A and B are shown apart, each in its own frame.
Chain A
Amino acid sequence: MAKATVVIPPSAPKPNRFSGLGQKILVPILAVFTALVIGGLIILISGGNPLEAYRGLIEGAFGTTKAISETFIWATPYIFAGLAVAIAFKGGLFNIGAEGQLALGALAAAWLGYGLPRMLDTTIPAIIHVPLVVIGGALAGGLWGAIPGWLKARTGAHEVINTIMMNYIALGLVSFLLNGPMKDPSPTNVIARTPSIAETAHIGTIFANPALRVHWGTLLALIVAFLIWWLLWKTTVGFEIRTVGTSSGAARYAGINVGRTIVLTMFLSGGLAGLAGAVEVAGLNYRHELSFALGYGFDAIAIALLGRTHPFGVVLASILFGAMRSGATRMQFLTQIPVDIISVVQALILLFVAADEIIRYVYRIRAPKEEVIMTRGWGG
């Protein structure tokens, strides 16, 4: 066949204003920017000074080493939970159940932290106890996530419905246990919480300075993000997850066991959510309490989307969300603007990344679709 491949001349104009990576991160960045502008307008209308407010926010998030430490404390469960939702997305699954998986992970970790040593009537050396607590929490979340995965693989039942249902069950169960069998029995306690975990189960802090609470769990989160990236793009398991997530027909053709891959993906997803809960318990709170961690699982959806379901994107989005959470208190203190405005901004970010058409329209960015997806052969 005559070779007629046409090669681009070096002087040819760049075909698109924003190509490659730029195109990918542009929309999330503009979404955040737009959300902040609208948030600023709301502050303005309600009589505040948006610049002051945002200055307070940034100061509160990054102004001092302590502030930075707190930002990362917030970011840590976000990273785990964001990865949980992201890996499910990669496998073509929408895991709305991170909230429940996280709560169960936290609960399991707490029990392994305080209950297990009592049951065995011994102290467990930290080098065993810490991993036990962390892995136990991940397993609990993983198994809880695997159930809707299995239901989907077996019966085709949609995971969105089932993970929501599993959330109710998990949260009910956790509430029951925290108010009953697992409630901290100390006479002064009126809160739905577990007893404190043994000291051998504590994940240590990184710095000696007691003001800096950031712990090794944060480092673990970064390592896990890297491992998930490696799993997804450098291993056959990741190839299988992504393939099932893109096209179940092609996955079957490729010889992949689609059902097993769905269960595995949901197990990994739930496991990451469980890890979020376990690390909160072992690294920060040293117990589980009903009011802890409410909403992480849902914020995680926003984070996964903002991070474009990419592990590294999730890390960046988590730091952003962490900064907003940790800076909000300082902002309120300085400007009397209620911290709730931050929830509004976060909700707007979610809206804009989910409905990126809006952002594309406002900023006149052509959808990459137009340049890439439209050429097709028949038969699809």
Chain B
Amino acid sequence: MADQISALEIKDITKQFPGVLANDKVSLNLKKGEIHALLGENGAGKTTLMNMVYGLYHPDHGQIFVNGQEAHIKEPTDAINLGIGMVHQHFMLIPVFTVAENIVLGNETIKGLQLDRRAASQRIRELSQQFGLEIDPNAMTGELPVGVQQRVEIIKALYRHCNVLILDEPTAVLTPQEADDLFRIMRELTQRGVSIIFISHKLKEVLAIADRITVLRGGRVVGETTPQTSDEHSLAAMMVGREVLLTVEKEKAQPKEVVLHVEGLRVKDKREHEAVAGVMLEVRAGEVLGIAGVQGNGQTELVEALTGLTHSFGGKMILAGQDVTNATPRRLVDAGIAHVPEDRHQFGMIKSYPIADNMILNTYHQEPYARRRTMNNKAIEEHAKRLVAQYDVRTPSVYTKGEALSGGNQQKMVVAREFSRPIKLLIAAQPTRGLDVGSIEFIHKRIIEQRDAGAAVLLVSAELDEVMSVSDRIAVMYRGKIIATVEAKTATREQLGLLMAGITPEQVAQK
């Protein structure tokens, strides 16, 4: 890192959106071969800043220098030609293309009129060997796990000879195992001279991997630091501007009657495999049951079946004494289920709808939002205004479209909607994915509030820390089954880790 010239220098960049000053004279300096973490609250302007470096947005003021030369980046092709690659908060791959096709897309090695697949595959293999990025160029992209899809995005950037790589919340959707793989790859890359900007809300990760850290708040740089001179608490305070509780404060649970009773539930996944293979569980009013497990062990399908989005083909679901097996989402919502879906873009919100409409997405038919099929705009607006204030959704107005919100604020919008009506059962899947520490603290408090108000809560999360600190009991899901249920108070990370790998205490005892 002795090199004096920066790989990328951002100078006094300002970007104004309608009603929001997203970046206000932001400067940032990325040295050659370093991992530079960009931290900040939801809506602080991280993605916006990176989108400008990548040519997706254009700054109102300010300059960008690449290798010491001022760069005028009008569109992503310019950025790519300057050696800048970006892996977005949400991937931009085409699911029905093979890995190789996705990687060469827009950068085709043409031989005659045909795509030269052979040469492309060859080059991809070379890259994957060189950087230890295992990948099968001929695999169908849509069928790969998220972690591998992300690898495809990284190779795509490398394929175009990038030496600055921007990773926007790459670990939000990864399992801890996949995240470790990613960190190994990142270190490998920096050793070969690639410089990386790394955006994340997970402070532990940032402290573990970054060389330097820049913190944004409200569109401004509020400070620069290094992992050596900071810790989780100081980073959180810097981001949010106040002390943040990193643990959840709660009273002992007072479980009452059984609200959700699931017996022998069996669900198939999209490829017709049995993903949920006879799940048995019970959640009582006033308690939080957490479901831990490595992603892909049937949690997604379980939640979809419990919320009416998929059909189960065996077993029973009983809600407050009523059989609601395979009931429609409408019936379940009316019966008092709230659902924070894992994939907010597929189910939880409509990007082109204003916030106000998103806030009534599944209750639009109820009073006071509609009366005799006529929508009551006044009531809808007031409802949205109240929730926006209560949940601190950062937006200029309730008529702003959902897609104009930052990732974390979209999540807050969904959570606000689901937490704001009287409910018997709350099913929350990855409720804090993509949220900043302050918002996580806030949402955890609200979950506990729901519990204390007498709701039964089913929490599904890939974050072991989250499951352990919010839940009262923890069920571990492995290969479509609940293989053990333990008290959260006495559970240890090691014990849960073993269970998540499918190793039960009996097996341990046998060995």
Q: Which residues of A are in contact with B by a Cβ distance under 8 Å? A: 1-8, 12-13, 15-16, 19, 233-237, 239, 243, 246-247, 249-250, 252-257, 370-380
Tell me, in angstroms, the Cα distance from A243 to B333 when the chains sit together.
17
Which bracket fits the contact residues of B?
35 or more
Partner of A378, one of B89, B364, B365: B89
Partner of A1, one of B22, B173, B240, B377: B240
Whether A376 pairs with B345 at a CB distance below 8 angstroms is yes
Whether B21 pairs with A8 at a CB distance below 8 angstroms is yes
CB distance from B147 to the nearest CB of A (A): 13
Q: Given the complex, which residues of B lie within 8 Å of A237, measured CB to CB?
A: 373
Q: Given the complex, which residues of A lie within 8 Å of B48, measured CB to CB?
A: 375
Given A5-B394, A6-B219, A15-B17, 10 further pairs, Cβ under 8 A: A2-B242, A5-B396, A6-B20, A8-B396, A253-B361, A255-B329, A375-B404, A378-B168, A379-B173, A380-B343
Q: Does B108 contact A (CB under 8 A)?
A: no
Tell me, in angstroms, the Cα distance from A72 to B52 when the chains sit together.
49
Q: Given the complex, which residues of B lie within 8 Å of A375, measured CB to CB?
A: 47-48, 51, 403-407
* Nearest residue, chain A, Cβ from B371: A236
Whether B407 pairs with A253 at a CB distance below 8 angstroms is no
Tell me, in angstroms, the Cα distance from A237 to B365 when the chains sit together.
9
Partner of B362, one of A3, A19, A234, A254: A254
CB-CB under 8 A for A253 and B16, given A2-B240, A236-B375, A378-B169: no
CB-CB under 8 A for A8 and B90, given A249-B346, A253-B341, A372-B404: no
Tell me, in angstroms, the Cα distance from A13 to B403 when the chains sit together.
22
Whether B16 pairs with A12 at a CB distance below 8 angstroms is yes
Whether B89 pairs with A1 at a CB distance below 8 angstroms is no
Q: Given the complex, which residues of B lie within 8 Å of A255, measured CB to CB?
A: 328-331, 333-334, 362, 365
Which chain B residues in 331-358 approach chain A with CB under 8 Å? 331, 333-334, 339, 341-353, 357
Whether A239 pairs with B375 at a CB distance below 8 angstroms is yes
Tell me, in angstroms, the Cα distance from A348 to B57 when the chains sit together.
32
CB-CB under 8 A for A379 and B364, given A6-B218, A250-B349: no
Whether A379 pairs with B345 at a CB distance below 8 angstroms is yes
CB distance from A18 to the nearest CB of B (A): 13
Name 17 A/B residue pairs within 8 A (Cβ), A-sorted. A6-B21, A6-B22, A8-B16, A15-B17, A19-B18, A236-B370, A239-B364, A247-B350, A253-B307, A253-B361, A254-B329, A255-B328, A375-B51, A375-B406, A378-B172, A379-B346, A380-B346
Tell me, in angstroms, the Cα distance from A376 to B86 when the chains sit together.
14
Whether A246 pairs with B352 at a CB distance below 8 angstroms is yes
Q: Given the complex, which residues of A lie within 8 Å of B16, measured CB to CB?
A: 8, 12-13, 15
Q: Given the complex, which residues of B lie within 8 Å of A5, measured CB to CB?
A: 20, 394-396
CB distance from A362 to the nearest CB of B (A): 18
* Nearest residue, chain A, Cβ from B436: A1
Whether A377 pairs with B347 at a CB distance below 8 angstroms is no
Which chain B residues in 153-178 approach chain A with CB under 8 Å? 168-169, 172-173
Whether B330 pairs with A374 at a CB distance below 8 angstroms is no
Q: Given the complex, which residues of A lie within 8 Å of B240, measured CB to CB?
A: 1-2
Tell me, in angstroms, the Cα distance from A249 to B309 when the chains sit together.
9
Tell me, in angstroms, the Cα distance from A377 to B172 when the chains sit together.
10
CB-CB under 8 A for A252 and B17, given A378-B90, A379-B90: no
Whether B88 pairs with A373 at a CB distance below 8 angstroms is no
CB distance from B400 to the nearest CB of A (A): 10
Tell me, in angstroms, the Cα distance from A288 to B344 when the chains sit together.
52
Tell me, in angstroms, the Cα distance from A221 to B487 when the chains sit together.
67
**Which 8 pairs across A and B sit closest by C-beta, in order of nearness?**
A377-B407, A380-B345, A255-B330, A4-B218, A378-B90, A253-B347, A378-B89, A249-B346
CB distance from A182 to the nearest CB of B (A): 39
Whether B348 pairs with A250 at a CB distance below 8 angstroms is yes
Whether B57 pairs with A374 at a CB distance below 8 angstroms is yes
Q: Given the complex, which residues of B lie within 8 Å of A1, measured CB to CB?
A: 240, 392, 438-439, 442
Tell me, in angstroms, the Cα distance from A259 to B17 when the chains sit together.
38
Q: Given the complex, which residues of B lie within 8 Å of A7, measured CB to CB?
A: 19, 396
Q: Given the complex, which residues of B lie within 8 Å of A239, measured CB to CB?
A: 357, 364, 375
In this complex, the member of B242, B349, B373, B411 whose beta carbon has the largest number of chain A beta carbons within 10 angstroms is B373
Q: Given the complex, which residues of A lie within 8 Å of B472, measured CB to CB?
A: none
Q: Given the complex, which residues of A lie within 8 Å of B370, measured CB to CB?
A: 235-236
Q: Does B187 contact A (CB under 8 A)?
A: no
